[in-house]
Amino acid sequence: MTITSGAIPPRDMDPAAWGDPGRRASLPPHARRWLAKEIGLPDRRTPATPMTGLSLPESRIDESVRSALVEVVGEAHFRDDRDTLLRHAGGKSYLDLARRRRGLADVPDAVLLPADHAGVLAVLRICAERGVAVVPFGGGTSVVGGLSPLTGEHPAVISLDLRRLADPVHVDAESLTVTVGPGIRGPELERKLAAHGLTLGHFPQSWEHASLGGYAATRSSGQASSGYGRFDELVVALQLATPRGSMTIGRGPASAAGPDLKALILGSEGVFGVITELTLRVRRLPETVHDEGWSFRTFAEGMTALRRLAQAGLAPDIARLSDADETRANLALAGGNKTRLLKGMLAARGHRGSCLLIAGWEGPHLVVRDRRSAATALLRAAGGIRLGATVGEAWRRHRYDGPYLRDELLDHGALVETLETATSWTDLLGLYDTIRSALRSELSRDGARPLVMTHVSHLYPTGASLYFTALASRDDEDPDGQWQRAKERVSDVITSAGATITHHHAVGTDHRPWLEDEIGGLGIEVLRAVKSVLDPSGVLNPGKLIPEPPK
């Protein structure tokens, strides 16, 4: 396995923006006018401050540690150039971007690119011995602070970039599994699997950039996870490199050999070790992919329809029900004649405050036909109006565009951030109301109200997730505080309602203060005990996931 040394491949994102700059689309005038009216967004441009002016601190890695690390990874894969450091300054949350757009960034002292499992083990041993913190780095798409280069109690921190662990890709066509390195990203893996007629079926919004190892470390969930399963359900086996050595977990498709330690590594966010290999369940490429739109008169009616589908074993592979505000915003931002016609038709049929559902079906022709036909009957009985494939296809075309729109909105002076949770069907509507009210009240300012858009996705027989997008005019006096206060309030609301603090964004730094509410004091002690076995010197991703013990 070799990669071209020298420049880091161009897939790295700009520190202060998402993805490929060529994909940015500017906000059309009708959308700007709508936002001005809706959230009081003034007509202004607030471009990012270039980072050229930012002076980075001296590296805190001493020469002997540097030599030891270089000996493992090679000079070409020990990086401390300005550009590489800035591209490993952290993740892609609103606060991450807002800070970098103001020309501020904390960077690691170096970025290391080990070649393989043995290289990762060797780097971890050196870092543990010499007290250097390690932030495992995959695609760089964390939105919860999981990649912030915190040192903890150590003098220095490195970013451990896993992109070179992208091979081998071994496909077992009989058992339908693939074994991969953690550094491979979705598009490349799907290309390789497609050559075997296979797919992983995991498509989160970060799919173009996120790494497979990142999915595992954060218990990711994708847009098609109602059908294909959450990422943790796809993991058959994995290998973990720790400062204490290796762990390989997962034998056969299922086991009763004590507690499932795989579940302890999935979601460990780099604090127990570095995932260096994954064996994943894959499926045959679907013969049929059919996306369609449905409208419901109210969010509650749509939820009931989804619950019935999920409990009848008829959940679509993709299901995404927007509330009235998200539907209204999507239609307003799309604009155009077709949208006007659609709105007219819905109003005529009593769906003036329509809640749009995107339902996607994938699989063998016959199976999709049977399932769609049963589901259609159920959706109609629940009050749904079928809108046809055009709406569904439009969604699929733009499914990875959200973060580009965010960059554009940031340029226009907006605050824009998302948060998510999951709860039982019984509590879903009540939780929606409470979170939405909290966001609207916290983000209202000077008579302007925020836009809070919500959708239900990720259906389970016992409940579902709720995903919120808040859009407001940014308070440039206190841009961080404006969001932090709202986020804190909502996090309190979520935990006191008995819902989970995160359904698929992970904990990182942002949800860490609420983890004890979720798993209890003994749960936290258990996590600390596991960490003390695998990472006794505490160098792995300090400040993430596990709250500090009381002093």
Q: How many CA atoms lie within 13 A of 457 on its CB side?
A: 25
Reduced to 3 states, what is the DSSP secondary structure of residue 72? helix
> By C-alpha distance, which of 73, 77, 59, 81 is closest to 124?
73
Q: In whole angstroms, what is the distance from residue 467 CA to residue 469 CA?
A: 7
Q: Of the two residues 152 and 460, which places its CB atom closer to a copy of itself in the complex?
A: 460
Residue 160 near residue 120, CB atoms below 8 Å: yes
- Shortest distance (Å) from residue 371 CB to a copy of itself: 8
Identity of the residue, 401 or 525, whose beta carbon is nearer to a copy of itself in the bound complex: 525
Residue with structure tokens 């969010």? 299
- Of 57 and 258, the one with the shorter C-beta distance to a copy of itself is 258
CB of 335 to a copy of itself, least distance (A): 35
Strand 451-459 versus strand 463-473 pairing type: antiparallel
240 vs 152, 204, 345, CA distance in Å?
Answer: 22, 23, 55
Element spanning 355, H or E: strand 355-363
422 φ/ψ angles, rounded to the nearest 5 degrees: -150, 150
- Shortest CB 358 distance to a copy of itself, Å: 20
Between 236 and 358, whose beta carbon lies closer to a copy of itself? Answer: 236
Q: Is the CB of residue 46 less than 8 Å from the CB of residue 408?
A: no
User: In the complex, what is the shortest distance from the CB of residue 112 to a copy of itself, in angstroms, rounded to a whole number?
Assistant: 23
Residue with tokens 């679907």: 286
Least CB distance from residue 269 to a copy of itself, whole Å?
A: 7
| DSSP helix/strand/coil, 112 | strand
**Between 183 and 201, whose beta carbon lies closer to a copy of itself?**
201
β-strand pairing of 177-180 with 78-79: unpaired
Nearest distance from C-beta of residue 426 to a copy of itself, angstroms: 5
- The DSSP symbol for 53 reads G
Nearer to a copy of itself, 245 or 388 (CB): 245
Distance of closest approach, residue 491 Cβ to a copy of itself, in angstroms: 11
Which residues neighbour 338 within 8 Å (Cβ) at sequence distance 6 or greater?
390
Residue 267: CB minimum distance to a copy of itself, A = 5
